Amino acid sequence: MRKIIGAIGVIVLVIVVAVGTLTTRTMKPTKIDLLKEEYSEKHQPAVDHSLFPQLNKEFASAKEVTAECITCHNKRHDEVMMSNHWNWEREEYIEGRGIVSIGKKNAMNNFCIGTQGNEKSCAKCHVGYRMDKKGFSFTDPNNIDCLICHDNTETYAKAPNAGGDALPTLDLNTIAKHVGTPKRTNCGVCHFYGGGGDNVKHGDLSSDMFYPSRDIDVHMNVDGMDMECVTCHKTENHVISGKMYSLSSMNHNRVFCSDCHTDTPHEQQILNEHTVKVSCQTCHIPTYAKGKSTKMAWDWSEAGKLKDGKPYHEEDSLGNHTYLSIKGSFKWDQNVTPEYQWFNGTARHYLEGDVIADTTKPLIMNELLGSYADSESKIIPVKVHRSIQPIDPINRILIQPKLYSDSIGVGAFWKDFNWKTAATEGMKDAGLPFSGEIAFTKTEMNWPVNHMVAPAEEAVSCNECHVRENGRLASLNDFYLPGRDYSKILENIGFATIFLSLIGVAIHATIRFISNKH
């Protein structure tokens, strides 16, 4: 009897303990639950601008709206005028060349090459009005375009090729009354269209990100967390955190997943250990350009062909331009698997006028620095954009052509289709020497992929890297990767040992068998 009571007692105890531990485990919120709770609270504006009488009037121009903004926000224009969005350059330290002023003003890329001489067109994505290569005043605060970032009606827009001026047809009264924290649409109108079209440059920033589904981006998912750009790109005093290494070189003011998710977000410890050498994006952005295609290659040397004396374009089945007389031929791709590089947060840049040492290899416009041996480096996913673009073969410097102009006959390539005059005019605007010769050279530009984060279940699986052949990391060979790497000598000796053991055993057994028969 006592035994039975004892046994029942033990069983009851076990059940109580089991239920106790299991329920506490389900009750404890995970890190991700806490984050979801934190970020599900939407931003509530402190004021309603539509109630301010000074905004309740007919504005003749967007510049007048800016002036009205500054009457209340009477310090903010100073912040904007110190920002990269305004100046298009800032001082950066670049390894190997020291402190330089770098930005859209003087860096070059392998898309539309550079802004110099083309300001009127490029300024469609400048946070200011009246940009012109000569006449633009960087000191007049009324030239700040507050609305491009703060319009919450999604109706404000800049005019093309107008030095950054607003469209003349806007309902500025309504817009002025509905301003607020930047939304995805505010950032997106420029950042999703860099390079002259939807998703051309980044690959991970396209119009699909205005209202993305869960598959496109798990954070911005409109049916989920519905996060804005500025939720992660936290901003104080108009200094926006986060940067793109197309123009940046220094390891500061970056945005990391771990800012919210910590360095140990996984339940499995073995995955957390990966975060020392592998960035979050590497596994959690298995592909980019998930909706719209992105430009993968650009051949400027094909540009300038005309049909019946007129420029023309060709499209692929998805409506992507495969050829434009003004720009050359392109390769596009969607759902692209990134390339992978070591990166420690610093980069080198080709700047206007840099002499290219070796013109036989592709020129890397922005070299991402890092290696396995460098404890600051992690593996990151990168979109590599490959181009063939004009170079002065005598001076061995990249050519900054004049592309845009309002009128024919002033040397702009997009009007005259003449490389020589475009180069002559462009190099003159940039203050660079030009020998008169034009050749074309291969260039590569690295675009770290940080957006279009996939749902956890779609993350890259172990065997996509830990595999002998054709893994995602096949090109990173400065370290030992289990499952991929092995010592060839050891492999041969090892299997030879096992094989010889088997042979030896087989021979011994055979002789035993035969001698037994006799």
Partner 1 sequence: MKTKKVYVYRSFERFWHWLQAILIMFLSFTGFEIHGNYTFFGFEEAVRYHSIAAYMFLILIIFAIFWHFSTGEWKQYIPTKDNMVAQMKYYISGIFKHAPHPTRKTVLSKLNPMQRLVYFGLKIMIIPLSVISGLLYIFYRYPQSYEIKIISVESLKVIAVVHTIAAFLLVAFLVVHLYLITTGETITSNLKAMITGYEELEIDEDEEVQIKEQAS
Which phi and psi (to 5°) does residue 189 adopt? Answer: -60, -30
Using the rule CB under 8 A, is 517 a contact of partner 1? no
Using the rule CB under 8 A, is 486 a contact of partner 1? yes
Q: Which stretch binds partner 1 (CB under 8 A): 190-198, 360-368, 417-425, 497-505?
A: 497-505
Residues 258-277 that bind partner 1 (CB under 8 A): 270, 276-277
Residues 463, 465, 471, 473, Cα dihedral to 10°: 180
**Is 74:60 a contact under the CB 8 Å cutoff?**
no
Q: How far is the CB of 454 from partner 1 (least distance, A)?
A: 17
State the burial class of residue 272 (Cβ atoms within 10 Å of its Cβ: 0-12, 13-18, 19+): middle
Per-residue binding letters, 348-387, with partner 1 (x by CB under 8 A)? -------------------------x-xx-----------
Residues 443-482 that bind partner 1 (CB under 8 A): 461-463, 466-468, 479-480, 482
Using the rule CB under 8 A, is 495 a contact of partner 1? yes
Contacts for 159 with CB less than 8 Å, ≥ 6 apart:
124, 165, 166, 167, 168
Using the rule CB under 8 A, is 408 a contact of partner 1? no
Report the residue from 1, 27, 355, 490 that binds partner 1 according to the rule CB under 8 A. 490
Report the residue from 10, 17, 410, 509 that binds partner 1 according to the rule CB under 8 A. 509
**Is 385:354 a contact under the CB 8 Å cutoff?**
no
Per-residue binding letters, 277-306, with partner 1 (x by CB under 8 A)? x-----------------------------
How far apart are the C-alpha atoms of 212 and 230, rounded to whole Å? 16
Question: Among residues 394 and 462, whose Cβ is nearest to partner 1?
Answer: 462
How far apart are the C-alpha atoms of 120 and 157, rounded to whole Å? 16
Using the rule CB under 8 A, is 511 a contact of partner 1? yes
Residues that contact partner 1, how many (by CB under 8 A): 35
Q: What angle do CA 17, 19, 20 make, to 5 degrees?
A: 60
Q: How far is the CB of 254 from partner 1 (least distance, A)?
A: 15
DSSP lists the bridge partners of residue 392 as: 397
Using the rule CB under 8 A, is 252 a contact of partner 1? no
Q: How far is CA 374 from each of CA 62, 174, 252, 479, 515, rounded to the nearest angstrom? A: 50, 54, 17, 11, 64
- Which residues bind to partner 1, rule: CB under 8 A? 270, 276-277, 373, 375-376, 461-463, 466-468, 479-480, 482-487, 490, 493-495, 497-498, 501-502, 504-505, 508-509, 511-512, 515
